[in-house]
Structure 1
Amino acid sequence: MKYIIGLDIGTTSTKTVVFNRNGHVLSEHEEGYDLLHSAPDYAEQDGDAINRAAMDSVRSAMDKGSIKKEDVIGVGLSSAMHSLLCVDEQGQAISPSITWADRRSVKESEYLKENHSTTYLRTGTPLHPMSPLSKLIWMKNHHYEPYQMAHKYISIKEYVLYKWFGEFVVDYSVAASSGMYDIHKQDWDETSLKLAGISRDQLSKVVPATHEMKGLSKEASEYMGLASSTPFIIGGSDGPLANLGIGAIKPGETAVTIGTSGAIRQFTSAPAVDEKQGVFCYSFTEDLWITGGPTNNGGIVLNWLKDLFSHEGYSLSFEQLNQMAARVSTGSDGLLFLPYLNGERAPFWDASAKANFIGLRSTHGKEHMVRAGMEGVIFSIYHIAHELERLGHSHDSLYASGGFARSALWTQMLADVFGKHVHIPKSHQSSAWGAAWTALYSLGEVPSLHSIKTSIPMSETIEPNKEHHQTYQQMFQVYKELYPSLMNQLKQLQSI
């Protein structure tokens, strides 16, 4: 039997999933790595540690499934967006990998919003500290030594690929998420490059998602247990590949992914941007774009509540949190939670946003706070959905992926808030399957990207509760007005 591998290089871990051609998982392995905070607002990682983790994950997945290297058709790649490394002429990292969560370039982002707001209309990347464009301007302004010495400025995915193949290449969607790529012309944006103080030859060559790499280095080949001739397909970023891997491809089909953070996305046949700048829009292929919005605060809200309500010698499990929330009625008895624990991206793009419980009374207990936390994350996703609707995108059916899809309660909340059916796949590794399918398509094993719809093993479909939907509609009318109403007071608290 022949197998295809999906390799997903994420912010907190790298996952390797071995699939058969029908999308059934044969084996998988995940290798984690640290997020480093060398200074306030910094969020960095060791690029070489991520490279080792990627190789470890492939080797372990191969071993777990007793997969022979000659039975591997190819490897498709996915990665998180917005990372940035400086490398020298030998391709060695001379800086840490700066992640999307890094906040050091808040002032630079504000400068872009005030003076170069049209940059977003060309690039589709919101003007926010997550963007490599903002990071590079910070490096330039602060005379960051690795920036001054760099031969190239690349993402973590590009770094790993250079280590394995000696080739500086970047796919459309990772390039688009840099904030320096014109999604209308499908080329680097010269105005953005000037703002960053760099030239196009200091960036990688942009290639399509189907770009094939061969000649895996001897070290990587032996370490991973793959043949050096194994074709690697560059794929894309985790967002569009998650949509592809879950089957949310046609107009009206919306993917919702919630892991540590979260996102809601749709494919579109043309760039979707406007002056309000509420959502992102990134290229995926020459004629397909992904649009939507990310939230900083997904599963991290439950992690926070778990830590908050645990105590020395006793730690709550996520299952116990779900059980607590299930004891509370829809709407948490009038308690709302603004889930902005780590600032927020869409739809406000405010790195200084703060979380709040609204409507807290003495009759509320821990279980109300847990349920309100879960509902607040879904309201945040729903808020972004309204921005997509404003741009002409309907939400006819929802597809759920990520860790939250393992929670029957949380996915029911999603169905009830939207009032739509929610489709859940058997495997939650949708980005990996999207990457693997892109590889199959590139290698001529399947007829099209869209044909993946017949090869996604699905678990169940959740129906919305109409009564709960009505309650949530009333709650959301209050929710969406809260942050604009509180914003000035929260900024005053920040200054204090």
Structure 2
Amino acid sequence: MPEKSFVMGVDIGTTSTKATIFTTESHFVASHTIEYPLFHPKTDYAEQDPNQIYQAVLDSIKLVIQRAKLHSSQLLGIGFSSAMHSVIAVDVDGHCLTNSITWADNRSNEYAKRIKEEWNGHDIYLRTGTPIHPMSPLSKLMWFKEEAQEIFQKASKFISIKEFVIWKWFNQYLVDYSIASATGLFNLKALDWDQEALDLIGISKERLSKPVPTTTILKEMDVKAATYMNVPVDIPIVIGASDGVLANLGVGAIEPGKVALTIGTSGAIRAVVNQPITDPTGRTFCYALTENHWVIGGPMNNGGIALRWFKDQFSMTEVEMAKDRNKDVYDIMIEQAEKVQAGSNGLLFLPYLSGERAPSWNANARGVFFGMSITHQRQHFIRAILEGVIFGVYSIGKALNELAGPASEIRVSGGFARSEVWRQITADIFQQKVIVPESHESSGLGAAILTMYALGLLTSLEESKHMIHVLDEQLPNRDNAVVYEDLYRLFAHLSIHLNEQFDQISEFQRKSCK
């Protein structure tokens, strides 16, 4: 094996940063994860400490090199993936004036509504590709302008968590096209900040970072950081893209008909197109991968977190069984769900425990168990959660089919992809073949592949499809698919027609939590 035959993908996520080393043939070598907390100081707030995340980046890189037993000189380069939509206000010296305000933060909900209803929000979406929602930096900055005026005026820059890392390493404020395209402030056709969006919130381009291609290579990093991580100061750093678009690359869903579905804590379904496409009805996002590759799709707030909620609140039986059998509690829960026929005996779950993003973009949506009867047992509720999550992502997939064309296969990643039961439910609801790639590190692998492309090791991103190794595949069960066709119609009807009640109950909850 040549001396330099490894690349690293660093994925800055919502709950952890994971550094993963791959060979240039995309085989997994080693990974290291550093976790950090999400703070909720007030209702609807979801923040993180930028310096804590920066330290996690340093430590994950340093420790994965040690774990892989490599010398840093064997690394060809390091590429970045990052969660989207974060905002940090920094002063003229780069010091943080705020925590990192994450995608999960809903404090700007009322301003998102006003942008939609009063300030041509739909036109902004059509130009920028980011749906109007509290997750969006556009809405967050409007909140700062109106509710935190002192910080808004004092801030020299508004940046994301990845921009914070890049500034610490290279003393430059740079943002890749992918992260920029997820702000609601970036014009997809001009590949620059959208002047009308900036005028709406009252800031100039100078208060944002300089947009650059996702393949931009940076060298000569901060000596102190390089020494700490034990890497050369001139190691090529590829600025990379967002975790969502890189997940498509990491599972090989980069051609027409191939759709990527990721479900971890939250979830998303995405497809790659060759030009920016926005939805006339505003259901989907459009984010950049490169100047010639655009990812359209939609995220959902409630993926595996719904199953974790049920475990934490109602699954002491499964917890005890897991201890007795020395197994993971989620494996026990899935075993229980497997005992139940498709459709959960008419128990339907709307998985909106944390509001919802696509396709409704309703932060006030709330979770619902519908159809409960005296015959339903614990295992019915568990299976209904698995089915409800997939119904939710299927509703986004239907919109995606309209815009990008019908899917021929679904490539899955994230924690749910380890469950044969959950994968089969996916195949049955979508009535599509489900492909399981070998690596679950889809965003990290995507960052590594983009790094190889930026360094000239790949002639095109399409070439990378040969580097994705398939572990398994599942075909739909027609009998189950018929059951799910009927149930989905009811799921879609409830999701739409409960909007008024969602608003009423969420307002009651906000008042009662004060």
Aligned to 1:377: 389
**Is 1:393 aligned to 2:396, yes or no?**
no
**Is 1:34 aligned to 2:37, yes or no?**
yes
Aligned to 1:187: 192
Aligned to 1:405: 417
Q: Which runs of 5+ in 2 are unaligned?
A: 323-328, 509-514
Q: 1:392: how far off?
A: 4.3
Aligned to 1:340, the other structure's residue is in SS state coil
Aligned to 2:164: 159
CA contact (8 A) 2:258 2:271 kept: yes
Q: 1:470: how far off?
A: 1.4
CA RMSD of aligned residues (A): 1.3
Q: TM-score, normalised by structure 2?
A: 0.94
**Is 1:135 aligned to 2:147, yes or no?**
no
- Mapped to 2, the partners of 1:254 and 1:406 lie a distance apart of 18
2:24 maps to a residue whose letter is: R
Greater displacement, 297-306 / 449-458: 449-458
Greater displacement, 265-274 / 19-28: 265-274
- Mapped to 1, the partners of 2:65 and 2:231 lie a distance apart of 9
2:419 maps to a residue whose letter is: S
Aligned to 1:262: 267
Greater displacement, 60-69 / 138-147: 138-147
Which of residues 92, 103, 107 is equivalent to 2:106?
103
- Mapped to 1, the partners of 2:340 and 2:457 lie a distance apart of 50
2:288 maps to a residue whose letter is: S
CA contact (8 A) 1:306 1:315 kept: no
Aligned to 2:326: none
CA contact (8 A) 1:279 1:293 kept: yes
Aligned to 1:277: 282
Q: Percent identity?
A: 44
Q: 1:314: how far off?
A: 4.3
- Mapped to 1, the partners of 2:389 and 2:28 lie a distance apart of 29
Aligned to 1:379, the other structure's residue is in SS state helix
Aligned to 1:19: 22
CA contact (8 A) 2:351 2:368 kept: yes
Aligned to 1:43: 46
- Residues matched between the structures, number: 496
- Mapped to 1, the partners of 2:24 and 2:288 lie a distance apart of 26
Aligned to 1:278, the other structure's residue is in SS state coil
Aligned to 2:371: 359
Aligned to 1:391, the other structure's residue is in SS state helix
- Evaluate the alpha carbon distance shift between residue 8 and residue 495 of structure 1 in structure 2; reply closer, same or farther with a 3 A threshold: closer
2:497 maps to a residue whose letter is: S
CA contact (8 A) 1:73 1:231 kept: yes
**Is 1:219 aligned to 2:224, yes or no?**
yes
1:28 maps to a residue whose letter is: S
- Evaluate the alpha carbon distance shift between residue 392 and residue 78 of structure 1 in structure 2; reply closer, same or farther with a 3 A threshold: closer
Q: Deviations over 1:74-105 (max 9, x none)?
A: 00110000000011222221110000000100
- Mapped to 2, the partners of 1:97 and 1:17 lie a distance apart of 24
**Is 1:56 aligned to 2:59, yes or no?**
yes
- Mapped to 2, the partners of 1:70 and 1:492 lie a distance apart of 59
Which of residues 299, 306, 310 is equivalent to 1:305?
310
Q: Deviations over 1:22-46 (max 9, x none)?
A: 1111100111111011111110000
Aligned to 2:348: 336
CA contact (8 A) 1:307 1:315 kept: no
- Mapped to 1, the partners of 2:286 and 2:295 lie a distance apart of 6
Q: 1:214: how far off?
A: 0.4
Q: Deviations over 1:229-250 (max 9, x none)?
A: 1100011001111001110011
1:216 maps to a residue whose letter is: M
1:26 maps to a residue whose letter is: V
Aligned to 1:230: 235
- Mapped to 2, the partners of 1:489 and 1:430 lie a distance apart of 38
1:282 maps to a residue whose letter is: Y
Q: Which runs of 5+ in 1 are unaligned?
A: none
Aligned to 1:480, the other structure's residue is in SS state helix
- Mapped to 2, the partners of 1:494 and 1:94 lie a distance apart of 30
1:383 maps to a residue whose letter is: S
Aligned to 1:178, the other structure's residue is in SS state coil
- Mapped to 2, the partners of 1:168 and 1:122 lie a distance apart of 24
1:350 maps to a residue whose letter is: N
- Mapped to 2, the partners of 1:21 and 1:274 lie a distance apart of 37
- Mapped to 1, the partners of 2:499 and 2:475 lie a distance apart of 36
1:45 maps to a residue whose letter is: Q
CA contact (8 A) 2:245 2:288 kept: no
- Mapped to 2, the partners of 1:480 and 1:12 lie a distance apart of 31
2:157 maps to a residue whose letter is: K
